[in-house]
Amino acid sequence: MFIGAQVSLYPMTSDFVEVIFAGLKGLDPYRDQLRIETDDMSTLMVGAPGPLLDAIRDLFASAARRPEHVTMHVTLSRGCPGEPDDPSCRCETLTRAQDQSLAVRGAEAREAVKGAPVLGVEIDVQFSLYVLGQDRHMDEIYGCIDFLKESGTFLKSKNFCTRLRGDAGAVFETLRQAFLRFGPAEGHVTIDLTASANSPSKR
């Protein structure tokens, strides 16, 4: 299994360099657990989904603690057939999910969101889940939507995506659970997401 993300941070300020550096400091606790490669377009992170989603969360939360409007775009992928297996990407949640019903997976996902840390950073996210290479992919997507509506972070459905709002801890835990518990455990699943904080349009 290969699990990773391409992450790009977009501060809406002329002081964008300082905001980006503030965000990148949020990755420091995870550098020994993930492969992290940053260039002028994005940051690649590869590794187990525990530290991976925590690192993405803390990257954005660190930037969002500043007053400037900041957005982030993330492409998450697991099980891509074009990538080699990476032993650092092992995930117990995926192993257990192979034999669980949608109802059980949804219940465990809701419990995980309830236990998410409170970071004190309010964020908005819209995202789309893509279950690839499976005939009954809509069953998995509808199961995920049912979970999202009861997650405590659901804001509304939109064309082609779902909108979440809340504390960064709960929102990113919701994303982690959607990513890991829906779609085939050994299949190719991706999430495309955009996060936003401190938007002036909400004031």
pLDDT tens digits along 16-26: 999 998 898 99
Single-letter amino acid, residue 131: V
Residue 127 has pLDDT above 90, yes or no: yes
Residue 184 has pLDDT above 90, yes or no: no
Token digits of residue 200: 């002036």
Angle between helices 137-149 and 168-181 (to 10 degrees): 160
pLDDT reported for residue 202: 67
Residue 203 has pLDDT above 60, yes or no: no
pTM of the model: 0.93
The span from the CA of 137 to the CA of 158, in Å, is 19
Spacing of C-alpha 157 from chain mean position:
17
Q: 32, 126, 118: which is closest to 71 by C-alpha?
A: 126
Task: Read off the pLDDT of each residue in 80-96 and give the average, rounded to a whole number.
Answer: 87
Token digits of residue 154: 């659901």
Say which residues have a Cβ less than 8 Å from residue 148's Cβ, sequence separation at least 6.
154, 162, 164, 174, 178
**What letter does residue 68 receive in the DSSP assignment?**
S
3-state secondary structure (DSSP) of residue 66: coil
Is the separation of the CB atoms in 37 and 71 below 8 Å? Answer: no
The span from the CA of 192 to the CA of 201, in Å, is 23
Structural domain containing residue 60: 3-202
Residue 99 has pLDDT above 90, yes or no: no
Is the separation of the CB atoms in 47 and 110 below 8 Å? Answer: no
End-to-end CA distance of the chain: 43
For position 117, which CATH number holds? Answer: 3.30.70.930
Single-letter amino acid, residue 119: L
Number of domains in the chain: 1
pLDDT reported for residue 46: 96
Q: CA 53 → CA 35, 45, 57, 203, distances in Å? A: 13, 10, 6, 29
Residue 133 has pLDDT above 80, yes or no: no
